[in-house]
Chain A
């Protein structure tokens, strides 16, 4: 701008500029982050079980991997659900997509002798189609995504049951393990990593070994790698890329975003595709792990994912949230679920805790948002 000599506003600009430039303390900055509540919650729950579940084996290497694996499975879909919720939409069809994707992998392999990699590609293609359809319908009709994806919750579940009963006469399909060895794509979804490291640690006597001298824990399950990887990518996208800014903008105010030139429709469609993708990753991991597919897999997972995301500090109304928060939400989920198991509390109480946790998280988030708007 060229007019430096134009009349300056009398009040504000007359004050020396640096006067208000005080340093913001770190804790104050942290208060503005969405994942703060989830972090506090994680520390609280962790401390609680460190005390209560002391000596039960929950915090041995295998115990730790147990609850991390529970967290990882949920965390994979929660990451995608977080991005979508920040983008202002819900996907209630995640759970049904998990069931359908499992069937789409199992039937071609077991019934028609496809190689595993081809079936996995088929599942991912169908997921992309489902995600794009969800997104297209939400954009096109202007209906709340809650309704559109609720429709798909039933459609996909029904398709999974219908297809498998029609083609195989059953709703459970097993025998996938025998197709696993040597498949290049399935290798991405099965097994463990860092097995060498664990073997070495066992040799050093740092971790427990069984009678044969092999470590009890042989490696890190691949689901944990997927979880951490997706969380890292999602965080990077949200915080560092233009696309991340578009996600925040689309969820914050779609109209304002569109007026500023953000391709809101494309952003939303891609986010729906990503949730369907994450559901398929979940399904792949589960199918490779158990060696079977079942039409009722993934039941209620969409709601668990939403709980993790909300505990992670995202606003249901969109425009605010974080992938790290969702990961912490999933971690709390895993800690509590396994913690209740290890401490011998009746697992019936898990759901009570989960619901209460959700309410507390929402109240806390609303409070924090108000605080953020006040902080001048």
Chain B
């Protein structure tokens, strides 16, 4: 059967904020066991797109299909219940809380009954330790604060948590952007593992070098529209990079830079002529007096 249902699919999704069109007519689908890389510059609409996927926003037009069924999420909690887990850039980790407390935040396992219901700490600690060991991070004490972990490790805790709670779709918002090379590779390796476990992964980044090794397909966003989806075998790293930066724009940028340089030189030449009446003079004095 060649016509299988993708795990998650967006059909002609648009999102408007008042008169601002943040997303327009985006279509995209991700299968299980596939890493879709969402690329785009700042302001391209990446964040709006993932917030629409994760239930923070509702699309103005178009529909969202989860395993073939049209879906509308009332809040992120509903998306989470449906199996769409989002790992945000700011990690959704609380540094002063222990690894276990973070791992089970919002979904604490309990034992006991009625008012005596309490967190099953032994079980929770064991699971947190196990899940961390699975991704190659040996936690000495799951009660230690998350703040003691490195950035890459924290990111991995967040991903491990999502996987443990049965996510079908994993949305990663810039998971590697704040990390060094070595830390980033820890996260990338784990993304590959999540894919092997059969998750549909949507990986948002603007770093092609991080994206290219793990991605199966790329969707490029620009100013709220999609430039298209490309399979990895259809496109080279350089082509992705070029499209992201916008080949034509790069050329015009070159032209602009040359223009800046020229006008710079001109103004310098002018200033050398009459330094006495600098326009910045009185303003500076005012600023100083203001303080």
Count residues of chain A with CB under 8 A from any CB of chain B: 44
Is B80 positioned at the interface, with any CB of A under 8 Å from its CB? yes
A17–B145 touching, CB < 8 Å: no
Please indicate the chain A residues that have their CB under 8 angstroms from the CB of B104 in the complex: 245
A245–B119 touching, CB < 8 Å: yes
B138–A17 touching, CB < 8 Å: yes
> Can you report 11 residue pairs joining A to B where beta carbons are below 8 Å apart?
A6-B196, A20-B140, A241-B117, A242-B117, A246-B105, A246-B106, A257-B105, A261-B76, A261-B80, A373-B96, A375-B144
Is B240 positioned at the interface, with any CB of A under 8 Å from its CB? no
A321 to chain B, nearest CB (A): 10
Please indicate the chain B residues that have their CB under 8 angstroms from the CB of A248 in the complex: 94, 96-97, 101
Stretch at the interface among B65-73, B84-92, B209-217, B257-265: B84-92
| Contact A375/B148 with A241-B118, A258-B76 known, Cβ cut-off 8 Å | yes
Stretch at the interface among B34-42, B129-137, B228-236, B247-255: B129-137
Count residues of chain B with CB under 8 A from any CB of chain A: 44
Is B62 positioned at the interface, with any CB of A under 8 Å from its CB? no
Is A255 positioned at the interface, with any CB of B under 8 Å from its CB? yes
Is A363 positioned at the interface, with any CB of B under 8 Å from its CB? no
A259–B76 touching, CB < 8 Å: yes
With contacts A6-B192, A253-B93, A373-B95 known, what are 14 further pairs, Cβ within 8 A?
A1-B197, A3-B196, A6-B196, A22-B140, A32-B145, A240-B119, A245-B101, A245-B105, A249-B101, A253-B90, A256-B91, A262-B105, A319-B96, A376-B144
A261–B91 touching, CB < 8 Å: no
Is A369 positioned at the interface, with any CB of B under 8 Å from its CB? yes
Complex CA gap A242/B104 in Å reads 9
Q: 1/0 contact trace for A16-45 toward B, CB 8 Å?
A: 010011101000000010000000000000
Contact of A12 among B80, B137, B141 (CB under 8 A): B137
Within 8 A of A (CB), among B264-282: none
Shortest beta-carbon contacts, A-B, top 6 = A252-B94, A261-B106, A9-B136, A13-B136, A242-B108, A260-B106
B88–A259 touching, CB < 8 Å: yes
Complex CA gap A7/B82 in Å reads 29
A197 to chain B, nearest CB (A): 28
Please indicate the chain B residues that have their CB under 8 angstroms from the CB of A2 in the complex: 197
Is A15 positioned at the interface, with any CB of B under 8 Å from its CB? yes
Please indicate the chain B residues that have their CB under 8 angstroms from the CB of A369 in the complex: 96
Complex CA gap A1/B132 in Å reads 12
Complex CA gap A22/B193 in Å reads 29
Within 8 A of A (CB), among B131-157: 133-138, 140-141, 144-145, 147-148
Contact of B189 among A7, A246, A249, A255 (CB under 8 A): A7
A1–B163 touching, CB < 8 Å: yes
Q: 1/0 contact trace for A123-144 toward B, CB 8 Å?
A: 0000000000000000000000
Please indicate the chain A residues that have their CB under 8 angstroms from the CB of B243 in the complex: none
From A319, which residue of chain B is reached at the shortest CB distance?
B96
Contact of B119 among A12, A241, A255, A319 (CB under 8 A): A241
Complex CA gap A13/B193 in Å reads 15
Please indicate the chain A residues that have their CB under 8 angstroms from the CB of B133 in the complex: 13, 17
Please indicate the chain A residues that have their CB under 8 angstroms from the CB of B122 in the complex: none
Within 8 A of B (CB), among A309-362: 315, 319-320
A261–B77 touching, CB < 8 Å: yes
A15–B136 touching, CB < 8 Å: no
Complex CA gap A204/B107 in Å reads 54
- Residues of A participating in the B interface, judged by any CB pair closer than 8 Å: 1-3, 6-9, 12-13, 15, 17, 20-22, 24, 32, 236, 240-242, 244-246, 248-249, 252-253, 255-262, 315, 319-320, 369, 372-376
Contact of A3 among B77, B93, B193 (CB under 8 A): B193
From B110, which residue of chain A is reached at the shortest CB distance?
A242
Is B208 positioned at the interface, with any CB of A under 8 Å from its CB? no
From A318, which residue of chain B is reached at the shortest CB distance?
B96
Complex CA gap A319/B95 in Å reads 9
B96–A320 touching, CB < 8 Å: yes
Complex CA gap A265/B199 in Å reads 32
A260–B105 touching, CB < 8 Å: yes
Contact of B141 among A17, A24, A262 (CB under 8 A): A24
B186–A9 touching, CB < 8 Å: yes
A65 to chain B, nearest CB (A): 31
Please indicate the chain A residues that have their CB under 8 angstroms from the CB of B136 in the complex: 8-9, 12-13
| Contact A249/B90 with A8-B136, A374-B148 known, Cβ cut-off 8 Å | no
| Contact A249/B117 with A17-B138, A20-B138, A24-B141 known, Cβ cut-off 8 Å | no
B92–A261 touching, CB < 8 Å: no
A1, A12, A20, A257 — most chain B CB neighbours (10 Å): A1
Q: 1/0 contact trace for B184-220 toward A, CB 8 Å?
A: 0010010011001100000000000000000000000
A242–B148 touching, CB < 8 Å: no
Contact of A245 among B108, B134, B164, B189 (CB under 8 A): B108
B164 to chain A, nearest CB (A): 8
Complex CA gap A21/B148 in Å reads 16
